[in-house]
Amino acid sequence: MRILLIEDSEMIIKGLGYALSENGYELHIKSTIKEAELFLNKNRVDLIILDVLLPDGDGFSFFQNNINKENIPTIFLTAKDEEEDIVNGLMMGAEDYITKPFSTKELLARISKILLRHQNTNKIKVKNITFDIEKMVVYRDLQPIEFTSLELKLLHLLFLNIGKVVSRNTILDSIWQWTGNEVDDHTITVYLKRIREKLGNNNIIITVKGIGYRID
């Protein structure tokens, strides 16, 4: 998946550049509207992360005049968090809006959801397991599987990052965000054991020793 980051902050470019590359995205970086316009005239990307305040203009106008007509999913990235700006960006047709400072993990999660949605893939099938992302229902051989809320969220996290390793630290952070409770590595092991038992003997969840888990 190709992502265009239009941003002039070296700190953000460095941080996001590393995170996106590590997660398997092909990243292109432009620091001005002029550079971005020239790039988009000759190249196609799957998603754009667009800073609202750039050296040679504002991202809102650039989105409205250049990006929106190309139907490229766009996330506005800015220090401005006024409600009017957020509504303005979303009403223009942007997919999402995130304010600085932001969590890289949160941004990565939003990117995964947007790309998944635009691939028109509401259902992901791996072996005999099907995850209906829209309905948040999991099926084994067309029969629904009963999960607890937390088990379902953990499985959803793995499916949203299909083909990528989800680290144990990411899972720990996610559980804390969902429940407000701090858990340890043993708790993750217990949850994954329960999820695997409910999925059956299909081995779709792969353990990457010392790092985390992955669904291919």
3-state SS string for the chain: CEEEEECCCHHHHHHHHHHHHHCCCEEEEECCHHHHHHHHHHCCCCEEEEECEECCEEHHHHHHHHHHHHCCCEEEEECCCCHHHHHHHHHHCCCEEEECCCCHHHHHHHHHHHHHHHCCCCEEEECCEEEECCCCEEEECCEECCCCHHHHHHHHHHHHCCCCCEEHHHHHHHHHHHHCCCCCHHHHHHHHHHHHHHHCCCCCEEEECCCEEEEC
Query: What's the pLDDT score for residue 121?
Result: 59
Query: What's the pLDDT score for residue 120?
Result: 54
The reply to whether 112 and 11 lie within a common domain is: yes
Between CA 72 and CA 78, with CA 74 as vertex, the angle to 5 degrees is: 155
The reply to whether 94 and 7 lie within a common domain is: yes
Query: What's the pLDDT score for residue 200?
Result: 92
Tokens of 44: 């196609």
Q: Which CATH number covers residue 160?
A: 1.10.10.10
The reply to whether 138 and 211 lie within a common domain is: yes
Query: What's the pLDDT score for residue 80?
Result: 66
The reply to whether 75 and 174 lie within a common domain is: no
Asked if the bond preceding 55 is cis, omega within 30° of 0, the reply is no
Domain boundary among 118, 145, 166: 118
The reply to whether 112 and 157 lie within a common domain is: no
Query: What's the pLDDT score for residue 100?
Result: 81
Phi, psi (degrees; rounded to nearest 5) at 94: -65, 150
| pLDDT tens over the chain, length 216 residues | 789 999 998 998 988 888 888 888 889 999 999 999 999 999 989 899 999 889 998 898 999 888 988 888 999 987 766 667 677 777 778 888 888 888 888 888 888 878 777 765 577 888 899 998 878 999 998 899 999 999 999 999 999 888 888 999 989 988 988 888 888 889 999 999 999 999 998 889 999 998 999 998
Query: What's the pLDDT score for residue 81?
Result: 64
Query: What's the pLDDT score for residue 70?
Result: 82
Tell me if 115 sits within 8 A of 46, measured CB to CB: yes
Domain boundary among 69, 88, 118: 118
Query: What's the pLDDT score for residue 3?
Result: 93
Domain boundary among 118, 138, 165: 118
Query: What's the pLDDT score for residue 22?
Result: 81
The reply to whether 130 and 102 lie within a common domain is: no
Q: Which CATH number covers residue 68?
A: 3.40.50.2300
The reply to whether 107 and 127 lie within a common domain is: no
Query: What's the pLDDT score for residue 44?
Result: 87
Number of domains present in the structure of the chain = 2
> What range defines the domain where residue 195 resides?
123-215
The reply to whether 114 and 141 lie within a common domain is: no
The reply to whether 74 and 43 lie within a common domain is: yes
